[in-house]
Amino acid sequence: MKMCLSIKSDIKLMPKIEPFEEHAFQDEEKQREVLDKIAKELPQISINSTPPEMGRRIHKIVRQIAGSSDPYREIKDEYNKIALGLYPELRERVKKAKDSLLMSIRVAIAGNIIDFAVKNAHIDIEKEVEQILKRIKLSFFYLK
């Protein structure tokens, strides 16, 4: 028997869905259309579905309504430019680090942690990267 999400789970998921449609649409009517379609889809999703499976379903709905294979292109381009602006500073930090391999890994992790689906579209990337780098505590044993 296939278990489905409860109403309680559905309600908890809705705040996480909102950023998807906000990034893709400026038009509030389109945002509402996305949320309505996702709300209709939720009862069909197994409670055993993984977040990536749910994300794929949500992204499919957003792409259909947007009529675009990449409705997030604008925000990705904007933040890629910001990230490229941080590159020289981060590269210097890697060069100057006591353990450059470890710092490279920390920088890569920081870049991958930033997720626009669960954060406000207008985050301060520089501040976010800095906070993540401070929180990442790694140690490796390897041969140099």
Residue 109 identity (one-letter amino acid): I
Structural domain that includes position 80: 73-135
Do residues 31 and 80 both lie within one domain? no
CA-to-CA dists, residue 60 to 47, 55, 71, 109, 126, angstroms: 19, 8, 10, 27, 31
Q: Measure the CA–CA gap between 144 and 136, rounded to whole angstroms.
A: 22
Instruction: Choose the final residue of a domain: 41, 66, 91.
Output: 66
pTM, entire model:
0.55
Instruction: Choose the final residue of a domain: 31, 50, 66.
Output: 66
4: DSSP letter: B
Name the E strands within 24-117: none
Q: How confident is the model at residue 7 (pLDDT cuts 50, 70, 90)?
A: very low
Span 52-79, average pLDDT:
85
Q: How confident is the model at residue 20 (pLDDT cuts 50, 70, 90)?
A: low
CA-to-CA dists, residue 34 to 57, 109, 118, 119, angstroms: 12, 31, 16, 18
